[in-house]
Amino acid sequence: MGVGCLAQRFAPLVLLLVLGAAVPFALPLLRFSYSKSMVPLMPVGGATTETYLDIDDKFGLDYIIPNTLILVPFDQGDLGTLPWQRAACQAMRYIAGNVSDSLSAQGYDAALKPEDFLGVMIIGGYCVGELDAALHLIPGLASQLSEHLIATFGNDDLTATKVHVSSRLDMASDAGAAWIRAVRDAAAAQQTTDGTYLGQIYLTGMGPENLDAASETFASLPLVMGSTLAIVCVVLTLAFRSLVVPVRAVLCLCWMLAVTFGAAVIVYQDGALAGLGLSPFAPCGDALTWMAPCITFSIVVGLGLDYDVFLMESVVEHYDMGLSGREAMQHALAHTGCIISIAGIIMFLAFGALLLGSSPALQQIGFILCLGVLLDCFVTTKVIIPAVMALLSCGAGKRGDPNFWPRQGQRSVLPPPPLRKSLSAVSSRQNSFRAPSP
């Protein structure tokens, strides 16, 4: 309560300091980047992680997680026919050339070659149909190879086939993302090759799937954030019958989000705390895992709004009893400040368990949640909200306090007692419930 009273007394200075403190955290958000790699999801130093990194170093990621083209012929019988296989093989060559040209135009030192494909129609860059002359030197070898390839790369009912594609790129990198987009664009342009309709061509694999999940999630994140804050405004307007309360709440949420996610960028992307040698604050690469901000946004907003509503409900209750906005805030802090602090500490301890885990993704999520809770409980509710309400209360007049506009306070029959008397009355009531000493 004492902190809140000081914030009210020096409201303009406090708000300037709070806004100024947010700038160093908000600016790093401009260079925020996210990683689609699987490494942050794996335990640091674990046997599986070390094996994964060792195989990646010696063979490349596509040895562990291959990329695959799925071809779905228009006609079920096309898969085993020589004309379709020849056209499909030629399509693979066209795709390789188009992808190489696209990557070169984008400045990436990478290429896709025909020998990077392996499927029912192509082996080592050669079309299976082109090997017929050599295979026929051994009777029955050509048909046996064709049957083996169809059984290996085709599905059970021969309605689709897969083609393994080697990339030798990290699909989580910018070059890998460019490679995925180039392959998809080239495949879409080769559904008809040399007059033969190949059918639908899809690119799948862990890399493309992670890219799709991250890209689609972040593409919709601005809409999610905007709609969430809009819903917050509507709900608070209906709950408090005020237009000022929801606007103030959303601004406080934006301040908290900017500081929280900016701090995460500073710690995990810039490595500001790497010198401490502590695993929970060690960066994993030069970006945050893409799931961390997406998972934590709604949770942090919900917790911040929860503490805000709990405090403002008490403020409005005292305001409706006839107190001014400044006085109502003082009474509300006296009645709810300790509860909010205890609740915040409990949530901090609960989320802090994530920081003790061995997965960098969980550590980043835990850091964001812990910092958001601490800011909500000990800065927003104790400093920012009292300062804002004190500043707005300077314009209070006969029409009511601007903090609650257009709501009007409803004076009770008996005016509320002064704050000190109210607190002493609460203390005496608590003592009256204690059992008498023997």
Residue-level pLDDT, tens digit, the chain, 438 residues: 678 788 888 889 999 999 999 999 999 999 999 988 888 888 888 888 888 888 888 877 777 778 999 999 888 778 878 888 889 999 999 999 999 999 999 999 888 999 999 998 898 888 877 666 555 555 556 677 778 888 889 888 888 999 999 888 888 888 999 999 999 999 999 888 888 888 899 999 888 998 899 999 999 999 999 999 999 999 999 999 999 999 999 999 999 999 999 999 999 999 999 999 998 999 988 889 999 999 999 999 999 999 999 999 999 998 888 888 888 899 999 999 999 999 999 999 999 999 998 899 999 999 999 999 999 999 999 999 999 999 888 766 556 788 888 877 555 544 555 554 444 444 444 444 344 444
Clarify whether residues 234 and 372 are in a common domain.
yes
Helix segments in 265-324, DSSP class H: 291-320
Clarify whether residues 22 and 154 are in a common domain.
no
* Phi and psi torsions of 203, nearest 5°: -110, 130
Clarify whether residues 135 and 225 are in a common domain.
no
Clarify whether residues 163 and 77 are in a common domain.
yes
Q: Which residue, of 204, 230, 255, is where some domain finishes?
A: 204
Clarify whether residues 279 and 134 are in a common domain.
no
Full residue range of the structural domain in which residue 85 is found: 66-204
For residues 294 and 221, the answer to whether their CB atoms sit within 8 Å is yes
Q: Which residue, of 204, 236, 267, is where some domain finishes?
A: 204
Clarify whether residues 149 and 12 are in a common domain.
no
Rounded Cα–Cα distance for residues 417 and 411 (Å) = 13
Please compute, for residue 251, the number of CA atoms within 13 A of its CA located in the half-sphere on the CB side: 12
**What is the model's pLDDT at position 367?**
97
Clarify whether residues 337 and 385 are in a common domain.
yes
Rounded Cα–Cα distance for residues 369 and 293 (Å) = 10
Clarify whether residues 269 and 412 are in a common domain.
yes
Please tell me the chain's helix, strand, coil percentages from 3-state DSSP, rounded to the nearest 5.
70, 10, 25
Rounded Cα–Cα distance for residues 371 and 262 (Å) = 11
Residues in Cβ contact with 117 at an 8 Å cutoff, skipping those fewer than 6 apart: 69, 92, 96, 125, 163, 164, 165
Do the domain assignments include residue 155?
Answer: yes
Q: Per the structure, how many domains does the chain have?
A: 2
Helix (H, G, I), strand (E, B) or coil at 118: strand
* Tally of helices (H runs) and strands (E runs) in the chain: 15, 10
Helix (H, G, I), strand (E, B) or coil at 67: strand
Clarify whether residues 184 and 315 are in a common domain.
no
- Closest by Cα among 253, 222, 255 to 23: 255
Do the domain assignments include residue 85?
Answer: yes
